């Protein structure tokens, strides 16, 4: 197993969400993901109405992350293992959110529902595929 991994952001988030200003767990009604220009071709085939999974870096999280945390930072909640939480404070500070495509123009992808702050580095974009991404129980309903 590799001890280190280096990732280069493919783009950056532009929206109105700001750390310390926006409500916790806020989702922007409109975010622009500005890809590096040389990656614009990678958006070919995306269309408005499509759902995507955005993988991003929690670049403003202070580390190292405790392995046991309170849900939503609430000390009234019991301590739980970080892998059972969606906390931004993680051993590898990665986030992911499913969003809806609003527009695709050049190297700009406009989406709804992203919960990343303005300036957040985007690491990958993947199509949401229900039979791959939904839990097995949900697929059987």
> Per residue, what are the HEC states of 52-110?
EEEEEECCCCCCCCCCEEEHHHCCCCCEEEHHHCCCCCCCCCEEEEEEEEEEEECCEEE
In a domain, 3, yes or no: no
Which domain does 115 fall in, by range? 11-58+93-140
In a domain, 69, yes or no: no
Peptide bond into 62 cis (omega under 30): no
CATH number at residue 27: 2.40.30.70
pLDDT of residue 141: 55
In a domain, 52, yes or no: yes
In a domain, 6, yes or no: no
In a domain, 21, yes or no: yes
- The ranges of the chain with pLDDT < 70 are 1, 62-63, 137-141
In a domain, 74, yes or no: no
Tokens of 27: 């989702």
Which of 20, 15, 10 has its CA nearest to residue 118?
15
In a domain, 85, yes or no: no
Please give the model's pTM, rounded to 2 decimal places: 0.86
* Number of domains observed in the structure of the chain: 1
pLDDT of residue 137: 59
Q: Write the pLDDT tens digit of every residue in 73-114.
A: 788 999 998 888 888 888 888 999 999 999 999 999 999 999
């Amino acid at each position: 197993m590799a001890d280190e991994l280096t990732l280069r952001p493919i783009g950056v988030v532009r929206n109105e969400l700001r750390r310390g200003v926006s409500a916790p767990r806020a989702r922007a009604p409109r975010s622009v993901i500005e890809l590096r220009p040389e990656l614009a071709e990678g958006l070919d085939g995306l269309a408005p109405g499509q759902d995507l999974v955005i993988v991003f870096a929690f670049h403003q999280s202070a580390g190292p992350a405790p392995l046991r945390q309170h849900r939503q930072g609430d000390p009234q909640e019991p301590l739980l293992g970080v892998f059972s939480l969606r906390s931004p404070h993680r051993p590898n500070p990665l986030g992911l959110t499913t969003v809806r495509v609003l527009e695709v123009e050049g190297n700009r992808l406009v989406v709804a529902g992203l919960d990343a702050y303005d300036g957040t580095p985007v690491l990958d974009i993947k199509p949401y595929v229900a039979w791959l991404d939904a839990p097995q129980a949900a697929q059987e309903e």
